[in-house]
DNA sequence: TTGAGAATGAGATTTATTCTCAGAATGAAT
DNA sequence: ATTCATTCTGAGAATAAATCTCATTCTCAA
């Protein structure tokens, strides 16, 4: 796969932290699929193979993954925070169907460059884009 | 002021619901300022004048205000859902400072028309835009 | 005035997330 | 290997936003 491992390890080292077994399992599971994820789903996924990783450690590791630039906070859905990869993924925006929950991902270079321009005008330094819309997908509309 | 009252009343009537005193107080307070708001802040604001509106009723009224098209869910900040007016407000996007919490509102017509185009391509019907970015404002960067 | 349905406040409940803490793992230095 | 300081961990308690329950009160049309 990619070298998320290396990226994460370097990041941890730079902060005097360690790439422990639980952290490695969490990292690997996060990058085992390309879907958005939340803590509960990730926990279930991990538990299929490893009985020795706790929710607490997942909650503690996610901020590290974010700070290392590997993932970002994404949607909030059904009262749960969701996350998604940055590393190895093109930037995109989300069209979220409010009925079936389907998420359509779309390239977003144009919108980002506009946002960058606006941010510059307001002397604002963007760290993370958050671009999308909610509505109805084709299937749910025609049903 | 505007006729949010009328809009809300019509909406409620159309659903067989009533514009009661608590609902009216909540509506008025929501539209008394033009800031984004959350339940706690709204509750405090209301309590300055009216001792007889409960948190429960606020939580129950907000979905009605959303469904009536008067307000929309906006940011999530400090683990709290935030809301903002739609009625009487131009659409805008948010630049949120992650350090001081400042929110810069910016016109967003261009980005919206791009999003509309992309949505059409994916046969998606947008109900609500959600466009913004997180980062650092000028003051927090230069401190 | 009355009655059926809607709405309310108070407080209990739920549940995602954070916190606490005692013990386990780590790894550098001896 | 043995120390030792530090970081990590799992388990479960704690927190707090949002939702739910329920007995009572309001509303309004008949
Ligand atoms: Zn759908
Ligand atoms: Zn995505
Ligand atoms: Zn700031
Ligand atoms: Zn706004």
Q: What is the pLDDT of residues A42-85, one digit of tens each?
A: 999 999 999 989 999 999 999 999 999 999 999 888 899 999 99
Evaluate if residue B34 carries a pLDDT over 60.
Answer: yes
Distance A35 CA to ligand 1 centre (A): 17
- If asked whether residues B78 and B103 sit together in one domain, one would say no
In angstroms, how far is C3 C1' from B17 CA? 18
Contacts of B106 (CB under 8 A, 6+ apart): A118, A122, B92, B93, B94, B95
Cross-chain Cβ contact B124/A134 below 8 Å: no
- Domain total of chain B: 2
Half-sphere exposure of residue B38: CA atoms within 13 angstroms, side-chain side: 9
Q: Which nucleotide is nearest to A81 (CA to C1')?
A: C16
The rounded distance, in Å, linking the Cα atoms of B42 and B24 is 13
Residue pair A114/B111 in contact by the 8 Å Cβ criterion: yes
- If asked whether residues A67 and A32 sit together in one domain, one would say yes
Residue pair A98/A135 in contact by the 8 Å Cβ criterion: yes
**pTM of the predicted model, to two decimals?**
0.88
In angstroms, how far is C28 C1' from A50 CA? 30
CATH of the domain at B11: 1.10.10.10
Question: Does an H or E element contain B137, and which?
Answer: none
Distance B19 CA to ligand 1 centre (A): 33
Q: Which of A76, A119, A122 sits opposite B76 (nearest CB)?
A: A76
Which range of A100-104, A126-130, B13-17 scores highest in mean pLDDT? It is B13-17
Contacts of B142 (CB under 8 A, 6+ apart): none
Best residue in B118, B119, B139, B141 for a mutation probing chain A (most A CBs within 10 Å): B118
In angstroms, how far is D2 C1' from A46 CA? 36
Residue pair A106/A71 in contact by the 8 Å Cβ criterion: no
Owner of token pair 């948010």? B94
- If asked whether residues B25 and B59 sit together in one domain, one would say yes
Residue B134's pLDDT is 87
Give me the domain span that covers residue B101: 92-141
């Amino acid at each position: 796969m990619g070298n998320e491992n290396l990226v994460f390890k370097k990041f941890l080292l730079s902060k005097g932290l360690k790439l422990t077994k639980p952290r490695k399992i969490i990292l690997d599971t996060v990058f085992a699929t390309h879907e958005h994820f939340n803590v509960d789903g990730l926990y279930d996924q991990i538990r299929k193979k490893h009985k020795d990783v706790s929710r607490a450690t997942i909650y503690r590791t996610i901020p590290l993954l974010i700070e290392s630039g590997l993932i970002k906070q994404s949607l909030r859905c059904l009262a749960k925070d969701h996350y998604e990869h940055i590393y190895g993924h093109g930037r995109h925006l989300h069209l979220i169907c409010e009925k079936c929950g389907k998420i359509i991902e779309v390239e977003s270079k144009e919108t980002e460059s506009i946002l960058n321009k606006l941010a510059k005008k307001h002397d604002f330094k963007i760290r993370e884009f958050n671009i999308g819309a909610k509505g109805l997908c084709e299937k749910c509309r025609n049903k």
